[in-house]
Chain A
Amino acid sequence: MTFRDYLAFAIKALRGHPVRTLMCVSGVSIGIAAVAMLTALGEGARRYVISEFSAIGSNLLIILPGKTETTGALPGFGGVPHDLTLNDVKVLRREIPSLEFVAPITVGTETVRRQERRRQVPVVGTTTDFIHARKLRMGLGQFLPPSDLDRGAPIVVLGKRVADELFPNKNPLGELVRISDWRMRVIGVLAERGTQLAMNMDDVVFVPVATGMKIFNRHSLFRILIKVHSFVELKTACQKVVTIIIERHGEEDITCVTQAAVVSTFSTILTALTLGLAAIGAISLSVAGVGVMNVMLMAVSDRTEEVGLLKSLGARNRQILTVFLTEATLLTLAGGVIGLALGYGTVAVTTTLYPAIPASTPLWATGSVLVASIMVGMIFGVLPARRAARLDPVEAMEPRT
C-alpha cells in the first residue's frame, strides 16, 4: 500500500464527516496561529533590540562605576566604589592613545525654560564624541564643539521636540534658554531621531560635561563611553582600562561592558522570551491535540466494523495503524497550514496597521510549527490508531446491539 493510497483513503474518510473534520482542523489551526503570532512577537522584540544596538555600532565599551560581580568585600567595608571622574577620563585618554575616543557622560533631569515656556527633560552632559557614538545627525547649527574637559561653557544643543516647543516658529540658534538657574546659548538642534535605546532623542538636551556636573552639582560621572578602532581591540582595551582604574582607585570598582556583550545578553533573554511565548501557544496546541485524539477515537469506534473487514481482507495491524495515523496527521497538518496562514496574516495586518509593534515571523518558527503540527497528529493519533490496529477482526465485524 503506497503513501498515496493511505492519503486518498484518509481524505475520503475525513470527507465523510465534514463537520467533525472542520471543527478539529479549526481547533488545531487556532493553536498553531497562537504559536505563530506569539513567536513572531518575541522574535520581533529581539530583532528590534539588535537593530537598535547595531545602528550604533559594536566597537563601543561602556565603563560603569561599581562592580557588578560580587567582589567578596562586605558592603560598607571597602566595597563602596570610588567616583568615576573627569580626571579618570583624562588619564585614560593620555595612557591609551589608541582609543578612538573616550566620552564621559553625566545625566540628570532638569527644567528647560524660555520665557514662559518650560519643559522637564533629561539633560545629558557629554563631549563632542557623543554624536559619533550614537550616530546622531544635526538639524541646525552644530553639536558640542571639541574643547577642554573642565571648561563648562554655557552652551546647549536641543533635541528636535524640545526646540519645537520652546521656539515655535523661530530659529533657536543663538537664542538663550535657562536650565535650572543657568543661562545657556543654543548652538544646535538635532535632527529628528525618535527613540533610541529606550530614550527619546528628540526630548533630550546636551550640554558640555563640565556644565552638566555643575548643573547637577555632582562629581561622579554616570558612565564613560569608549570607542576603539576595530572590534578585535575591544577586549584588550577593556583590560587596559580596568588596569589603569585599579591603579588609580586602588581596587577594581568599575565594570567594563562591551556593546556586543549587552547585545548578546539581550538576545539571549529575548530568545528565552520567544520560547516562553511559543510554549504558551503550545498549550493551546496540546488542547487541540486532545481534540484530535477524541475525534480519532470516535472515528475508530464508528468504523470498528470496517477495521474488522479490512483485517479479514488481509490488512495487517501495521497498515491499520498507518491508516488512522495518516488521518490524524492530515487533520493536524491541515490545521497547521491554515493556522500558519492565519497567524502570519494577522501579524502582517497588525504590523501594517501599527508599525510600532515589533513583530516578525522567524523562519525557524515556520518550519518548527509545521513539524509541531505533524507531531501533534502523530502523538495524539497513536492511541486511537493502536486501538484500531489491535481490534479482533471477528468481534469487530459482529453487528453491535
Chain B
Amino acid sequence: MIQLTNVSKTYEVGDQPVHALVDVTERIQTGEFVAIMGSSGSGKSTLLNLLGCLLRPSAGSYTLNGQDIGTLSDVELSRLRQKFIGFIFQSFHLVPRLTAAGNVELPMMFAGISTSERQRRAREALEAVGLTERAKHLPAQLSVGQRQRVVIARATIMRPQLILADEPTGNLDRASSEQILKLLDQLHAQGQTLIMVTHEVDVARRAERVLVIDDGQIVQRIKSDALIRDPVLHPAVK
C-alpha cells in the first residue's frame, strides 16, 4: 500500500540545505504495524509527515494506494489526509475550547458529515477508548492518558487506512502508555495499518517490524521478535 522509492527530503535553511531524508526506499503492506526508531534529528518525524502527506518529497516518489503523492494538488492532499490518514501526536494537539466529543467530531465536520451522524460516531469512538463518561469534558479536565485516548478516537473516526503515531507515549507514564499501546494493538488486530515513531525499545517491540533510521537513511530493518532476543542493534537506537 505504501511505496517509497528513492525519496529524499531537503530543507533549505538560508542557503544551507538540511538533508532530513536521503534516498529512502521502502515498502509497507496493508495491515502492517511498523515502528520507526532512531536518534534525535535522524529524520523520523520528517518521514512520518511525508507518509502523512503533510510534506512532499524533494526527490523520489511516494505512492499511497497507487496514487503518486508528488503529482497531487494541495486540495487533493487535504482530501487524502481527511479520508485515508489518522494522526496521533506526542503532544496531543487537542483544541482546548472543544469538549472531548467536539474534538473527535472535528475531522467529520471538515468532511461535511451531518451533525447527528457526527454525534453518533463520536459517541461510539469515545466508547471504544473507554471515555463515554468524559465526552463532555474539556481537554484540560482530562488526564494526559485520557487526552491521548481522545486523540486515538479522533484519529480513527474517519476509518482511515493508515494511522501515523509520532511518539504517542512520549508524554505518558507507564500505566497510561500501556493503555495506549493496548488500543494500538487492538487496531492492529482489526487489520489497521500502523506506523509509529518511538524512542523506546519496549514500545517498538509491539510492532511487527522496526525500521532504524540514522542521518536520513534507513540503516536497519528488523523483525520485532528479534528485538526481544536483544539483537545487535544499530548504535542509533541506544
Contacts and interface: CB of A to CB of B under 8 A. Distances in A.
B75 interface: yes
A312 B106 contact: no
A310 B111 CA distance: 11
A314 B79 contact: yes
Nearest to A13: B97
A42 B187 CA distance: 70
Contacts of B95: 306, 309
B75 A312 contact: no
Contact of A314 (B49, B55, B78): B78
Contacts of A294: none
B93 interface: yes
B110 A1 contact: yes
Interface string A8-40: 010011011000000000000000000000000
A394 B49 contact: yes
B106 A313 contact: yes
B134 interface: no
Given A393-B54, A394-B54, A397-B89, A313 B107 contact: yes
Interface residues of B, number: 28
B41 to A, nearest CB: 14
Interface string A162-177: 0000000000000000
B91 interface: yes
Contact of B110 (A13, A314, A399): A314
Interface stretch (A47-55, A148-156, A315-323, A353-361): A315-323
A310 B55 CA distance: 15
Contacts of A313: 81-82, 87, 106-107, 110, 154
Contacts of A316: 74-75, 78-79, 110
B109 interface: yes
B97 A312 contact: no
Nearest to A303: B95
B97 A310 contact: no
A186 to B, nearest CB: 82
B203 interface: no
Contacts of B109: 1, 5, 9
B98 interface: yes
A312 B54 contact: yes
Interface in A361-401: 393-394, 397, 399
Nearest to A305: B93
Given A1-B112, A397-B93, A312 B81 contact: yes
B83 interface: yes
B97 A314 contact: no
A2 interface: yes
B78 A311 contact: yes
Interface in B110-136: 110-112, 115
Interface string A289-332: 00000000000000001101111111111010000000000000
B91 to A, nearest CB: 6
B43 interface: no
Nearest to B75: A316
B78 A315 contact: yes
A16 B97 contact: yes
A180 B96 CA distance: 88
Nearest to A308: B93
Contacts of A311: 54, 78, 81
A310 B106 contact: yes
A314 B83 contact: yes
Contacts of A9: 109
A394 B55 contact: yes
Nearest to A317: B74
Contacts of A12: 97-98
B52 interface: yes
A308 to B, nearest CB: 8
B78 to A, nearest CB: 5
A2 B97 CA distance: 20
A2, A9, A399, most chain B CB atoms within 10 A: A9
B112 to A, nearest CB: 6
Interface string B2-19: 000000000000000000
Given A1-B109, A1-B112, A394-B54, A314 B98 contact: no
Nearest to B97: A16
20 contacts: A1-B109, A1-B110, A1-B112, A5-B109, A5-B115, A9-B109, A13-B97, A15-B97, A16-B97, A311-B54, A311-B81, A313-B81, A314-B78, A314-B107, A314-B111, A315-B110, A316-B74, A316-B79, A319-B110, A393-B54
Interface of B: 49, 52, 54-55, 74-75, 78-79, 81-83, 87, 89, 91, 93, 95-98, 106-107, 109-112, 115, 154, 158
Q: Nearest 7 A-B pairs (CB), nearest first?
A: A314-B82, A315-B110, A309-B93, A313-B107, A314-B81, A316-B78, A16-B97
Given A1-B109, A9-B109, A13-B97, 11 more contacts: A1-B112, A12-B98, A306-B95, A308-B93, A310-B110, A311-B54, A313-B87, A314-B82, A316-B79, A394-B49, A399-B91
